[in-house]
């Protein structure tokens, strides 16, 4: 494999150094001058035997012609210009190409390249739509499903960090979280004036991590700190696109969960619970002092890997809209034509929605649901946040329910979704009574007309972040 443009530039540079014309080089290798010009402009892929012939004709070696670096700064400019003019973006503009001649100044090439880079930036920014984000998220969810939501390389990082702290079992305390920050070279600071959109800010130069002052009892201060530390431990660099931003977020969240609920301590508990037919998210939550959602996510990381039990997880708003989901048990999730599940409506007969109708919303809720893809058992828990109520649901196929606490539930419903007659189409009696006799005012989602946030870190204003750090750098701070 080689780059035809770079090889062509090296042929031209060497030919000119020898004082040869394209015709004279053509005579040496029995080729027309026009063919030499095509080669020098990188418009033809050469066989290795042809490269050998050209190298001999130019008194050099094939290895020299095949070097990857550009032969000179001027050649680098010409290569970049050729690549720009051959790009799909340039072709879509309908502009004529600019011949790359010796008379074309460096300043002119730089101007063209600068304009093309700006067009490419604007085009990419315009293309970063919710559609792109949904495609990226669907692809990421596919990768998670393929690996059973288990990342051995991140588990190894967690083990190394926990070992450095001397922590081998039980919950990771606030004190040990601070010790981990110091181990990684950071001090921790709380600040009430954090820029909007930033969950935390890491000052790489000063070795400081800023987190907001949390007033909600539901917010675990360890989580924000560990997420910031996880990005440093995993060597994350500013993401190049939205897909990489999503991947980094998943990795940071995964490492955070692996630190709060260490694999070495959690797996024996899970295996013992399976042997006793008492698997539950609640026990994992209580043993490690974390929230239900963190425990449920960690459960999906470890359960398939260590017990071969496939599962699914849903986070559903009380309106029935699916916010987050994962499955490797064959549960058919609602999805759009892009393969995205976020924003889709969950069947009203699934436990994710039936739980909101339960009289007892404190005790664990469980039910069986007969679906077109089979019968599934599921347990759901309600979480209240500033954005409303959400159900957190974890389930598995019928044949694996025997290992879970709550398997003896007598609740059982039938879902025919995605058949519209299941729950999307009103019953005939209601439709006949009210069709064309009502006109509800729809609550338009705030994000309906919003563009996807731009920037390296979507939704975070870099100016605000830099200004925040500048004021904190000039003001003495007391580490928290």
pLDDT tens digits for 167-212?
988 889 889 999 999 999 999 988 888 887 788 888 888 899 988 8
Pick from 119-133, 350-364, 369-383: least confident: 119-133
**Residue 331 contacts by C-beta under 8 Å, 6 or more apart in sequence?**
312, 371, 373, 376, 395
54 class by beta-carbon count within 10 Å (0-12 exposed, 13-18 middle, 19+ buried): buried
Residue 268 structure tokens: 């024996």
Q: Are 270 and 303 in contact (CB under 8 A)?
A: yes
Q: What is the pLDDT of residue 448?
A: 47
Of residues 455 and 145, more confidently modeled? 145
Pick from 27-31, 112-116, 412-416, 420-424: least confident: 420-424
Pick the closest to residue 87 from 124, 36, 133, 130 (CA basis).
124
Q: Are 13 and 19 in contact (CB under 8 A)?
A: no
Q: Is residue 309 part of a domain?
A: no
Task: Please give the Cα distance from 236 to 105 (Å, whole number).
Answer: 39
Task: Please give the Cα distance from 232 to 259 (Å, whole number).
Answer: 14
Pick from 50-59, 149-158, 299-308, 439-448: least confident: 439-448
Q: Is residue 20 part of a domain?
A: yes
Q: What is the pLDDT of residue 419?
A: 86
382 class by beta-carbon count within 10 Å (0-12 exposed, 13-18 middle, 19+ buried): middle
Q: Is residue 134 part of a domain?
A: no
> DSSP letter at 279?
B
Angle between helices 22-29 and 48-57 (to 10 degrees): 120
Task: Please give the Cα distance from 279 to 132 (Å, whole number).
Answer: 38
Percent of the chain surpassing pLDDT 90: 48
> DSSP letter at 228?
H
Task: Please give the Cα distance from 50 to 308 (Å, whole number).
Answer: 56
Residue carrying structure tokens 């004190």? 175
Angle, CA 124 vertex, CA 120 and CA 130 arms, to 5°: 170
Mean pLDDT of the chain: 87
Give the 3-state secondary structure of residue 190: strand
Helices (H), 98-151: 106-127, 130-146
Bridge partners, 54 (sequence order): none
> DSSP letter at 241?
S
Give the 3-state secondary structure of residue 176: helix
Query: Over 70: is that where the pLDDT of 19 sits?
Result: yes
**Residue 238 contacts by C-beta under 8 Å, 6 or more apart in sequence?**
456, 457
pLDDT-derived band at 420, boundaries 50, 70, 90? confident
Task: Please give the Cα distance from 385 to 388 (Å, whole number).
Answer: 5
12 class by beta-carbon count within 10 Å (0-12 exposed, 13-18 middle, 19+ buried): buried
Query: Over 90: is that where the pLDDT of 163 sits?
Result: yes
Q: Are 377 and 384 in contact (CB under 8 A)?
A: no
* Beta strand spans in 232-329 (E): 312-317, 322-327
Give the 3-state secondary structure of residue 354: helix
Query: Over 60: is that where the pLDDT of 128 sits?
Result: no
Q: Is residue 39 part of a domain?
A: yes
Task: Please give the Cα distance from 151 to 162 (Å, whole number).
Answer: 17
The predicted-structure confidence for 69-87, as pLDDT tens digits, reads as follows 888 888 888 888 988 888 8
We report the CATH number of the domain holding residue 24 as 1.10.260.40
Task: Please give the Cα distance from 86 to 393 (Å, whole number).
Answer: 50
Count: domains in the chain: 1
Q: Is the pTM higher than 0.85?
A: no
Structural domain harbouring 42: 4-98+106-125
Q: What is the pLDDT of residue 221?
A: 79
Residue 159 structure tokens: 């083990």
């Amino acid at each position: 494999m080689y780059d035809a443009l770079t090889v062509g530039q090296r042929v031209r540079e060497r030919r000119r150094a020898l004082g040869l014309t394209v015709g004279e080089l053509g005579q040496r290798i029995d080729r027309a001058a026009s063919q030499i010009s095509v080669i020098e402009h990188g418009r033809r892929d050469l066989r290795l035997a042809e490269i050998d012939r050209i190298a001999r004709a130019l008194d050099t070696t094939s290895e020299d012609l095949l070097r990857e670096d550009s032969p000179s700064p001027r050649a680098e400019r010409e290569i970049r210009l050729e690549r720009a003019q051959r790009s799909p973006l340039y072709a879509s503009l309908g502009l004529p190409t600019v011949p790359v001649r010796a008379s074309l100044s460096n300043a002119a090439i730089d101007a063209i390249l600068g304009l093309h880079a700006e067009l490419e930036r604007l085009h990419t920014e315009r293309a970063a739509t919710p559609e792109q984000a949904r495609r990226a998220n669907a692809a990421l969810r596919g990768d998670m499903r393929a690996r059973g939501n288990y990342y051995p390389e991140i588990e190894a990082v967690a083990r190394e960090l926990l070992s450095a702290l001397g922590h081998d079992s039980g919950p990771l305390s606030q004190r040990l979280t601070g010790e981990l920050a110091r181990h990684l070279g950071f001090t921790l600071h709380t600040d009430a004036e954090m820029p909007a959109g930033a969950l935390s800010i890491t000052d790489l130069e000063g070795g400081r991590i800023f987190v907001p002052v949390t007033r909600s009892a539901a917010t675990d201060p360890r989580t924000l700190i560990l997420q910031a530390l996880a990005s440093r431990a995993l060597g994350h660099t500013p993401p190049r696109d939205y897909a990489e931003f999503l991947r980094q977020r998943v990795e940071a969240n995964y490492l955070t969960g692996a630190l709060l609920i260490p694999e070495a301590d959690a797996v024996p508990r899970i295996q013992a619970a399976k042997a006793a037919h008492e698997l539950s998210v609640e026990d994992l939550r209580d043993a490690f002092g974390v929230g239900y959602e963190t425990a449920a996510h960690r459960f999906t990381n470890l359960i398939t890997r260590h017990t071969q039990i496939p599962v699914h997880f849903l986070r559903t708003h009380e309106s029935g809209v699916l916010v987050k989901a994962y499955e490797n048990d064959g549960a058919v999730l609602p999805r759009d034509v892009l393969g995205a599940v976020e924003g889709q409506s969950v069947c009203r007969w699934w436990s994710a929605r039936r739980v909101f109708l339960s009289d007892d919303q404190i005790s664990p809720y469980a039910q069986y649901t007969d679906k077109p893809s089979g019968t599934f058992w599921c347990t759901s828990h309600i979480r209240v946040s500033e954005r409303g109520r959400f159900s957190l649901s974890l389930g598995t196929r019928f044949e694996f329910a025997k290992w879970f606490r709550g398997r003896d539930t007598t609740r059982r419903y039938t879902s025919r979704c995605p058949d519209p007659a299941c729950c999307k189409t009103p019953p005939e009696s209601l439709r006949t009574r009210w069709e064309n006799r009502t006109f509800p005012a729809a609550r338009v989602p705030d994000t309906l007309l919003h563009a996807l946030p731009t920037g390296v870190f979507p939704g975070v204003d870099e100016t605000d972040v830099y200004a925040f750090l500048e004021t904190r750098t000039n003001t003495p701070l007391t580490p928290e």
